[in-house]
Structure 1
């Protein structure tokens, strides 16, 4: 079958579930954008800049399983690279496309705009390659092979890929396969699959205290629902890293609490580290999810599931599709009757003190008391994530954050992407004023697209997390105090998004009740003391200073 290069790429994107491409137009990608415009079942959503597009594609991928952004050569690609690197760090599959100079210009090394004018057209791919699993430029001769290779790699490895598309090839016709693109993973080696299942079942039968320890790869590789079913069938307790928050219900009676080394919830460190059958999913420990490297998992008792391998008490099994292995385990593991008194853990009712000013200690439980089940909570790195981290989310909550890469400003564009992918879900974003100022332009895209989130802007007049590390009262941690609540109408005069401002618990409660009754989007600005912080941040700041600056380095008074 013959089709154009551009139509082939569009068909492949649709086959993997992409219905929105986010990005910024540029002269090298306009020929492709013309084809996107004319295609059915897919559209382009313009963002305010390329970095925000990369963040939005990341947020989109966390709903759909894969996201896509489109930039232009050089200036666009490099502007997006921070967001692409974040997707790499967080194991999020993103397809990054970039319009490139005409093929003849790159082959004959013409000096052109958006380049270094030295004829080098390999340098952009070389810059992006360390942060992607595939970085390539397609031609009419290789596009079928290379584009399919990139997509398969992206979906299998859960990493971003980057493909440059020369501007003069998108309307050329090529021969493409008749069969549809398959997103299925390869099947397992039969003997290795059976051997892995037997090894897990044998260790499980001998175990006295089996426990599941969840991290973000549980979600990335699609294990969550299989784990949920296994846990319900076997009635096994489970814990999570801070980087795997709310993957399973935090109000379930089998939930032990958060494992974070010596900073774990009470009793959790001892329980997890003494388990004789500890299920993990490639946990990656950094200082913030390991209690500053105080984690000590029992290596000889670990049963670790990767996407294409399993490790059972020191024995490796490769060549397996782990989803197939989990299906066998779900069938063969023994069922245990849940206790009659097995009920959801009740969260204490929050009692509003109407005249009290908002504080970090009480504001976060107040918000959680208003969250709905099965919603999406997006928490910016820093105060928001630290404040919400210890609190138990409602059942079915999807919790989106960036615990490893931690690039501030990520969450507002990620909200855009997540809502484009799942507009039917209730989205609540918590973002600090300092983070908001980095990517605030994307609020204009959110209102333009008529999306209806609740955006909570935490106004504490600066970088609170940095204050508690160093420079508590130094002006380098101060920022300009914007009129945040006015911004929705600044970006779109006739927007239906309504703004609210709260300084006391009573004002916050009234605003949340009004928001709950409305079908419109909401922008809620809450004011807190600049020198107030969640208890976890008050401890984290000095520890970070100790770690970062050494024994002779500066400290807060």
Structure 2
């Protein structure tokens, strides 16, 4: 069929599940935006800046499975690059689109705005290409092939891809296939699939202490339903890294807890490190999820990658792992593990409110964990929020969004915007610190403009608590300007229905939570905490990080 390049791109985005394109308009992408406006079943969501747009697209992709980001050449692309890099680090499939200068100007090396004015039009692709699975400039000759190649790469590799769309080609017609985009993964090599299944079942049958250790790739590649079913059918206990929190059901009796190397609970550490068959999902150990690189996995470890299986030094390639998991689930006999799992986690124990007591980190997080419901989307900012919430089990069916690897603060407010655009029917609860909030605060206005209704819990502790615990407890560089945070919803949107609350004591917190439970209007809850107070995990993490960063001659050990 004959179709314009812009219309073909839009049709492909719709076919992979994108109904919102998130970004910022600019002169080189306005013609494409006109085509988006004319299309049915897809719309543009404008954000306050490109970095926030990239964060929002990341959150959208985590809930929808893929997202589309739109920026303009140079200034827009580079402004979004931190968010694109974060999606790459966190293995999030994101289609980044950038309106680019006209093709004739690119080919004739014009000196243009948004460039270095030196005729170089490769530098943006080269920069962004370092953080994407592919980065390409579209032309009328390559557009159909490259669009499909980029989308297949994005969905298969679970990485961002980047397409530059020159401003003078979006309305040009090309020949394109009239079939829908094929979302299926290539099938496995039959012999390799059968050999892998036989070997896995052989080792699993011989194991006395099998355990599953999940990380975020289990979610990204769609392994979770099969892994959960495998654990339940065989009675195999499981744990996760903190970068994989919420991947498997934390309220199931088979759940052991969080593995964090030497920082693990003794029972979890023993179960993982003494397992005679450990099943993993390509864990990536950084200092923050390995107890400072003290992890020690057993020799007999099976790793499910996206397109391969490794068992020690045995490697099975040419496999679509989803097919293998289905085959294993079908063939593995039911049984009961001999590894003692932890008692089913509970947050329903009686809670006695100390009405006049000031809020403390120690008592705050158990109470907030009790506020969560099944099927919530919980977003926790890197630092105090993720560390404070980390030890507490999430209700069954919770989607947990966190930047455990990249850790760019400010990510979670725009990510909440994107996730709620992708799944508007689910309750979204964001936990964010005041310092992180100030990084991307503008996107609260977009949340309100889109009539979204998240519950935003802001921890006002007058600065960067995580940094204080690393170095500079009383240093001015860890302070921030104190805003009237709870007034911001009405400042950004005077007619908003979002309710604002403040709490300094446990009694005030209870009143606020009760009001939030009864309302469907969304809420902004500002909690006032001592700047020097911190969750127990952060009190350990801070000194450990200081020792790692600064060494024995550092400022903590002059």
TM-score by length of 1: 0.98
Q: Residue 288 of structure 2 aligns to a residue in which SS?
A: helix
- Look up the SS of the partner of 1:288 in the other structure: coil
SS in 1 for 2:555: coil
1:159 aligns with 2:181: no
Structure 2, unaligned runs of 5 or more: none
Question: Alpha carbons of 1:175 and 1:542: their partners in 2 closer, same or farther (altered >3 Å)?
Answer: same
Aligned-pair CA distance for 1:232: 1.3
* Residues 1:504 and 2:505 aligned together: yes
C-alpha distance in 2 between matches for 1:178 and 1:349: 61
Whether the 8 Å contact between 2:236 and 2:336 is mirrored in structure 1 is no
Task: State how many pairs are aligned.
Answer: 555
Q: Residues 342, 389 of structure 1: CA spacing in aligned structure 2 closer, same or farther, 3 A cutoff?
A: closer
SS of match in other structure, 1:369: helix
Aligned twin of 2:331: 332
1:314 matched residue in structure 2: 313
Post-superposition shift, 1:312?
2.0
Alpha-carbon shift at residue 343 of structure 1 (Å): 8.6
Give the corresponding residue for 1:427.
428
Q: How does 1:145-544 map to 2 (within 5 A)?
A: 145-298=145-298, 300-336=299-335, 344-347=344-347, 348-544=349-545
Please give the secondary structure, in 1, of the residue aligned with 2:196. helix
Q: Which residue of the partner structure matches residue 15 of structure 1?
A: 15
Corresponding residue for 1:66? Answer: 66
Partner of residue 25, structure 2: 25
Encode CA deviations 1:352-385: one digit per residue, 9 max, x unaligned.
1111100000001110111111101100000000
CA contact (8 A) 1:349 1:369 kept: no
Please say which of residues 264-273 and 196-205 is displaced more in the overlay: 264-273
CA distance in 2, matches of 1:311, 1:138: 37
After superposition, the CA RMSD in angstroms is: 1.4
Q: CA contact under 8 A between 2:261 and 2:293: conserved in structure 1?
A: yes
* Cα deviation, residue 336, structure 1: 2.9
Q: Secondary structure at the match of 1:257?
A: strand
Partner Cα distance (2:395, 2:373) in 1: 7
**How far apart in 2 are the matches of 1:399 and 1:483?**
28
- Verify the 8 A CA contact 2:256 2:342 in the aligned structure 1: no
Structure 1 segments unaligned to the other structure (5+ residues)? none
Question: Deviations for 1:386-411, whole angstroms, at most 9, x for unmatched residues?
Answer: 10011111111111100110000000
The one-character-per-residue Cα deviations of 1:45-104 (angstroms, maximum 9, x if unpaired) are 000000000000000000111111000000000000000000000000100000000000
SS in 1 for 2:96: strand
SS at structure 1 position matched to 2:496 = coil
Separation in structure 1 between the aligned mates of residue 19 and residue 557 of structure 2, nearest angstrom: 49
**1:461-490 Cα shifts (integer Å, max 9, x gaps):** 000000010000010000000000000011
Residues 35/28 of structure 1: CA separation in 2 closer, same or farther (3 Å cut): same
> Contact 2:251/2:345 (CA < 8 Å) preserved in 1?
yes
Q: CA deviation at 1:138?
A: 0.3
TM-score (norm 2): 0.98
Conserved? CA contact 2:210–2:337, under 8 Å: no
Instruction: Give distance in 2, aligned partners of 1:550 and 1:373.
Output: 44
Shift in Å at residue 338 of structure 1? 10
